Amino acid sequence: MTAITLIQGDITQQSVDAIVNAANSSLLGGGGVDGAIHRKGGPAILDACRDLRASRYGKGLPTGQAVATTAGDLDARWVIHTVGPVYSASEDRSELLASCYRESLRVADELGARTVAFPAVSAGVYGWPLEDAARIAVETARATETAVEEVRFVLFDERAYEAFAGQVR
């Protein structure tokens, strides 16, 4: 059974097998979690992302999908990049958000990862309401069959931590 743990802090400081990056589809870095992972992980991550774009994802990584690269200078073996959906009040995109977590865990299983740190995918600049993002993340992590032993949600601030804590209780 997969343990779910919560930490308020910086995802780039986690010592885990894999860190999940809330990436943009270009895979070439950006703001928020994506920018922090690229800055702290160093150029090896960007180089690996460029290779992925050249070989498989020339048009970008599709929303809801996941792919792994080296973790560069991070205290992890891999970074699993996933592209979350932008929130829409007029269109239910929750299945795409759930897919980010399922696909990231599938990639983690392929890699043999046992510990995986996730951010709150889509709950930042992509505008997903925090409580709903937390519900989808926790429900999906619980429902996904995986060999991952620990899913660690690393939340940047107290508000996010509390939203996820309300789902884990």
- Positions annotated as catalytic residues are 34
DSSP per-residue letters across 135-149: HHHHHHHHHS--S-S
Cα separation of 163 and 154, whole Å?
12
Strands 78-83 and 18-23: parallel
H helix or E strand, kind and range, residue 32: helix 32-41
Provide φ and ψ at 138, rounded to 5°: -70, -45
H helix or E strand, kind and range, residue 82: strand 78-83
Cα separation of 151 and 127, whole Å?
23
* Among 65, 71, 163, CA closest to 117: 71
